[in-house]
Amino acid sequence: MQHDPSPYDALLLVSFGGPEAPEEVVPFLENVTRGRGIPRERLVEVGEHYFHFGGKSPINDRNREFLAAIREDLAGNGLDLPVYWGNRNWGPYIGEALEQMVADGVKRAAVFFTSVYSSYSSCRQYRENLADALAGLPEGTTLELDVLRRSFNHPGFIDAMVDATLAAVADLPDAQRESAHLSFVTHSIPTAMNDASGPEGGAYDLQHRSVMEEIVERVRLETGHRFRHQLVYCSRSGAPHVPWLEPDVNDHLAQLAEHGTPAVVAIPIGFVSDHMEVVWDLDTEAAATAEKLGLTYVRAATAGIDPRFVAMVRELLLERAAVERGIPTARPAEGGLPACWDRCAPDCCRNLQQGDRPTVGGLR
Ligand SMILES: CC1=C(CCC(=O)O)c2cc3nc(cc4[nH]c(cc5[nH]c(cc1n2)c(C)c5CCC(=O)O)c(CCC(=O)O)c4C)C(CCC(=O)O)=C3C
Ligand SMILES: [Fe+2]
């Protein structure tokens, strides 16, 4: 393992952002959906999820915990790197983080997105946000940003999710354990967005399936039982006539109940911490659906601040630092897909609605 962070003199954590008070909910939703063609009814419905939790999204607090854990991990490993944080849709915004970095004299930073898969929403849109924020800096500012590779198959994420799954499986009633179903859950996206994800298309779904298969196999090695499993989706949005990835987790639960499955473990592989989708779509809505159907329902933990997931950010930064210095380095990855590319191809995860916009972190 390399321990030299150069050429980086900082780390920037980039996330989605969320409202923290009732009066922030509507402006936040307007930020999220600007130019994205989301029907008014869906916005009202999603607004209710936030109001249900007092107008406060959990995401910023989860990111504050993650930041604190990353800082501790870096310091504990003798790395004296400042860590900044900026969001796409709510303060602290990416632009504010960049201004602070410039004021502090940062020249080149590694950037980690709190979303580990390829798609427009989960990767390229953040790369556009970085380009917009850079363009907003005063003329003549030099700040270079390198986006760390998609980390869905990094051992730090996989190992945390394997243990979360094992813990959830252990929580099942003994009599139901082996007939339980593992339901891997992620954020739905339009099928067209999935078709355009990654350099060759379909990467969003493919990456999730490789994570699922790896976890199922690791759980088999640990328990001796290969569980039935499926990839399902939550948080479908958009107009009704636009196809999104399916099945929805609630429809899936109804199917399981119909086929006599007694218990289900929901494994939120699409979310790195307990975002609104986890506390609403899974812990509130899907849990209620399961209860109505008479299904035992256990939700596995998200990666959150699992020390291995936290260490992953440092490991990715050091790995990329070595790459940028031209030093051969290991690129750990688990499951059927190789470690992801460092720089995205020009047509990776294209913006289908607004066309190509400037990005950061692409091939030059
Ligand atoms: C792939 C993906 C991720 C995972 C990757 C990542 O983490 O980035 C993600 C994360 C998140 N999505 C979030 C919230 C919302 N997403 C929305 C809308 C949309 N998401 C989409 C995709 C994704 N979203 C898409 C294709 C849309 C349609 C509009 C569009 O084409 O852009 C809307 C508008 C209402 C609605 O349409 O549901 C909201 C409020 C929050 C914050 C949660 C919190 O507060 O804790 C988080 C972490
Ligand atoms: Fe979303």
pLDDT tens digit string along 174-222? 999 999 999 999 999 999 999 999 999 999 999 999 999 999 999 999 9
pLDDT digits (tens, 9 = 90+) for 35-89: 888 888 888 999 999 999 999 999 999 999 999 999 999 999 999 999 999 999 9
DSSP string, 49-75: HHHHTTT--SHHHHHHHHHHHHHHHHH
CA-nearest residue for atom 15, ligand 1, is 32
pLDDT tens digits, 272-305: 999 999 999 999 999 999 999 999 999 999 999 9
Q: Which atom of ligand 1 is nearest to the CA of 277?
A: 43
Atom number in ligand 1 closest to CA 57: 45
Amino acid at 211: V
CATH of domain 155-299: 3.40.50.1400
User: Whats the size of the chain, residue-wise?
Assistant: 364
Cα end-to-end distance, the chain, whole Å = 27
Per-residue DSSP letters for 185-242?
Answer: EEE--BHHHHHT-SSSS-HHHHHHHHHHHHHHHHHHHHHS---EEEEEEE---S-TTS
Residue 84 three-state SS:
strand
pTM given for the model: 0.97
Give just the sign of the alpha carbon dihedral 338, 344, 346, 350: positive
CA torsion sign, 297 to 164 to 197 to 145? Answer: positive
CA distance 16 to 263: 32
Q: Give yes or no for residue 1 having a pLDDT over 80.
A: no
Confidence of residue 2 (pLDDT cuts 50, 70, 90): low
Domain with CATH 3.40.50.1400 in the chain: 10-151+306-324, 155-299
- Any ligand 1 atom below 6 A from CB of 127: no
Q: Give the closest residue to 127 by CA, choosing from 354, 344, 341.
A: 344
CB of 111 within 8 A of CB of 361?
yes
Which of ligand 1's atoms lies nearest the C-alpha of 119? Answer: 1
Ligand with smallest separation from the Cα of 268:
1
Considering every ligand atom, which ligand is closest to the CA of 18? 1
Residue 245 CB–ligand 1 contact under 6 Å:
no
pLDDT at 364: 75
Q: How far apart are CA 288 and CA 290, in angstroms?
A: 5
Ligand 2: distance of its center to the CA of 273 in Å? 14
The answer to whether 124 touches 232, Cβ cutoff 8 Å, is: no
Among 63, 140, 65, residue whose Cα is nearest residue 94: 63
How many whole angstroms from 187 Cα to the centroid of ligand 2? 7
Q: Which amino acid is at 170?
A: A
| Residue 136: count of CB within 10 angstroms of its CB | 13
Q: Which two tokens stand for residue 21?
A: 């008070």
| pLDDT tops 80 at residue 352 | yes
| CA nearest neighbour of 268 among 307, 308, 298, 226 | 298
Given a cut of 70, whether residue 236 has pLDDT beyond it is: yes
Please tell me the distance between residue 321's alpha carbon and the centre of ligand 2 in angstroms.
31
Work out the mean pLDDT of the chain and round it to a whole number: 97
- Closest ligand 1 atom, residue 190 Cα: 26
* Residue 200 annotated as binding site: no
10-151+306-324 maps to which CATH number?
Answer: 3.40.50.1400
What per-residue confidence (pLDDT) applies to 36? 84
Say yes or no: CB of residue 257 within 6 Å of ligand 1.
Answer: no
Q: 275 a known binding residue?
A: no
Which tokens belong to 165?
A: 């799954």
CB 154 within 8 A of CB 238: no
Burial class of residue 233, CB neighbours in 10 A (0-12, 13-18, 19+):
buried
Which comes out higher in pLDDT, residue 24 or 36? Answer: 24
